[in-house]
């Protein structure tokens, strides 16, 4: 990693125009149901159109995602070598032409002021990267799982305050950072954004919160929530290692997974996120919390097993069935 001097950063900042150019990068995988909504919202941004480029990177979709994308005036790239959203983002980064790189996800919908408010935060706070707010869209049923998702996930302000890190669901970065920090880790399926932004902050770059740079994310149902927590679990050890979390902190974080969140903790989180009807389903939220923890533990065990197989060179096509390797 090349260290950048403060005067180099100041020079870059001073050269930014009032409206710097922005490349928007979105990885997509089997997103035919959502990508229409995403692209339409991106094309309705209130930022000067001549200063924007929109790059979508397909990661081996086997539905009509690419066909849908080709209907719109956007750039479509493909990442076929590595199956990882971070590899897809890296492909976009390598092909981006502009001064600011903005990231969101294929199932999100951005607000018209998203880029403008994010850029304003970068300039006004002399920041090098900014995490925006993720608001949630509920289904008509507004299930307990959806409430839990909106209470506990994608809380950018909290992530910045607690970990000095942010997610690519809503992130703007000055492009030069990737030259000095490197690209996202592409061998992981979850947590690569937390690893990268934490590394940037530890290198001395300023991460700011952009509360008015808003994207909307649909809440997850229970099955989706459990799959997400399993995926997070597979990347958790990598996050601990790459953020250099102290061993006592790692032990404490892992130990907490064996217990559901306290009811008081869930109520507090709901108040902080403005979820006013959580009390009505608090016991169900508590049960979902425990189920998500178990799913995350299973993800960790899966990653440990993967590391073990790689170190012992056990072929990936061997599976255990009835206590017998096949």
Examine the domain organization and report whether 278 and 215 are in the same domain.
no
Alpha-carbon distance of 67 to 188, in angstroms, equals 27
Question: How would you list the strands of the sheet with 52-58, edge to edge?
Answer: 75-78, 52-58, 22-28, 100-104, 170-174, 129-137, 207-218, 109-110
Domains contained in the chain, number: 2
pLDDT, tens only, 9-51: 454 444 555 789 999 999 999 999 999 999 999 999 999 999 9
Check whether 322 has a pLDDT greater than 60. no
Domain presence at residue 322: no
CB atoms within 10 A of CB 325: 9
pLDDT, tens only, 214-264: 999 999 999 999 998 998 888 777 767 666 677 777 787 788 888 878 888
Domain presence at residue 120: yes
Structural domain ending residue among the three candidates 159, 186, 221: 221
| Global model pTM greater than 0.85 | no
Domain that holds residue 176: 6-221
Check whether 318 has a pLDDT greater than 60. no
CB atoms within 10 A of CB 291: 17
Structural domain ending residue among the three candidates 221, 253, 277: 221
Tell me what pLDDT residue 70 has.
97
pLDDT, tens only, 253-270: 788 888 878 888 888 888
Mean pLDDT estimate for the chain: 87
What confidence tier does 278 reach under pLDDT thresholds 50, 70, 90? confident
Examine the domain organization and report whether 174 and 306 are in the same domain.
no
Examine the domain organization and report whether 174 and 287 are in the same domain.
no
- The residue whose two tokens read 């952009």 is 210
């Amino acid at each position: 990693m090349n260290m950048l001097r403060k005067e180099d950063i100041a020079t870059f900042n001073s050269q930014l125009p009032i409206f710097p150019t922005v490349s928007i990068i979105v990885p997509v995988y089997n997103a035919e149901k959502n990508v229409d909504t995403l692209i339409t919202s991106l094309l309705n941004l209130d930022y000067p159109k001549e200063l924007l480029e929109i790059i979508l990177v397909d990661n081996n979709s086997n539905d009509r995602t690419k066909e849908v994308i080709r209907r719109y005036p956007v750039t479509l790239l493909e990442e076929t070598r590595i199956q990882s959203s971070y590899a897809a983002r890296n492909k976009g980064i390598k092909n981006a032409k502009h001064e600011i790189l903005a990231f969101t996800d294929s199932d999100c919908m951005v607000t018209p002021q998203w880029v403008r408010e994010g850029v304003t935060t970068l300039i006004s706070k002399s920041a090098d990267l900014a995490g925006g707010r993720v608001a949630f869209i509920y289904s008509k049923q507004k299930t307990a799982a959806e409430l839990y998702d909106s209470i506990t996930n994608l809380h950018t302000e909290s992530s910045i305050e607690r970990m000095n890190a942010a997610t690519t669901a809503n992130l703007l970065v000055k492009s030069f950072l990737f030259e000095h920090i490197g690209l996202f880790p592409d061998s992981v399926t979850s947590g690569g954004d937390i690893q990268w932004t934490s590394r940037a902050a530890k290198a001395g770059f300023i991460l700011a919160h952009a509360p008015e740079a808003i994207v909307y994310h649909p809440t997850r149902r229970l099955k989706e929530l459990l799959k997400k927590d399993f995926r997070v679990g597979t990347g958790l050890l990598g996050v601990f290692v790459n953020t250099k979390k102290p061993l006592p902190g790692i032990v404490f974080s892992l130990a907490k997974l064996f217990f559901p969140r306290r009811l008081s903790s869930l109520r507090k989180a709901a108040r902080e996120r403005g979820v006013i009807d959580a009390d009505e389903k608090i016991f169900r939220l508590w049960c979902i919390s425990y189920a998500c923890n178990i799913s995350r533990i299973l993800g960790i065990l899966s990653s440990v097993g993967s590391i073990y197989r790689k170190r012992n060179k056990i072929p990936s096509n061997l599976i255990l069935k009835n206590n017998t390797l096949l």
